[in-house]
Amino acid sequence: MDFSDVNARGLVLVGCGRMGGALLDGWLKNGLAAGAVHVIDPNPRAELSDLGISVNGELPGDPAVLLIAVKPQMMAEVLPRLSVGGDTLVISVAAGVTIAAYEAAFPAAPIVRAMPNTPAAIGHGITAIIGNARAGAAQMALAQALLSAVGRVVRLDSEDQMDAVTALSGSGPAYVFHLIEAMAAAGAAEGLSPALALELARATVAGAGALAVAQDEDPARLRENVTSPGGTTAAGLAELMDPDHGLPPLMRRTVAAAAARGRELGR
């Protein structure tokens, strides 16, 4: 990744919690100079200053990038404290906060709204991005390069898609973690020890996800490959795929509820 302009002009990271911290770790591993980073955070990690990162200090007047990684509920307090011009790329990773809100705060700036997810912490995230009219090819490429440090990046056709992305991939890891909980509880109910059931559930979900990514095949085909007619998997899937009470209608309600909440946050 070519971070030469960012290294020269600086990057301001507002919020260095789980997501901001994961992004920072990815940037440093991919060539961003620690001295170019300026972190604003009320409870910064102790080791940041030891790395040569500026923490809650004087900010550059014209940074290459301002990345905002705070909770959406904090935006009304945070945005009025920040000021950048038209040469600074503004990137936000907050759910629900619209590009219009950032344009009101930074009227001259190119703005990219992004939605990563928590597997970014281990470099396996996926992030969706969309830019405003001022974000040209160079700014979009820079945003993609920065966010690629923690996983894959996809570009959206319109901002209207962001609430669905937030509900699916942004919130999705929590759904998968709950699936692991439910599978482990079901295994324990069938006589396994809770520890063994949890180990089996974790490894099964991780392995199946890795297989789905590695083979890049229709998941329905992968499911069929595991399912023998009249066998144990078929018996389980009969319950899971019930059109009225199975997983498909439940997941539809789950994602719809999360998307609706994202739209509420954006008002």
Does residue 69 have a known ligand-binding role?
A: yes
The pLDDT tens digits for 83-134 are 899 999 999 998 888 999 999 999 999 999 999 999 999 999 999 999 999 9
Instruction: Please report which confidence band the pLDDT of residue 171 belongs to, taking 50, 70 and 90 as the band edges.
Output: very high
Query: Residue 6 above 80 pLDDT?
Result: yes
Does residue 107 have a known ligand-binding role?
A: no
Residue 220's CB is within 10 A of a number of other CB atoms, namely 8
Rounded CA-CA distance 197/182 in Å is 10
Query: Residue 57 above 90 pLDDT?
Result: no
Does residue 29 have a known ligand-binding role?
A: no
What residue spans define the domains of the chain? 3-159, 171-266
Instruction: State the CATH class of domain 171-266.
Output: mainly alpha
13 half-sphere exposure, CB direction, 13 A CA radius: 28
Does residue 71 have a known ligand-binding role?
A: yes
pTM for the whole thing? 0.89
Rounded CA-CA distance 148/100 in Å is 25
Pair of tokens at residue 116: 């990563």
Q: Mean per-residue pLDDT for 168-175?
A: 96
Domain at 3-159: CATH architecture: 3-Layer(aba) Sandwich (3.40)
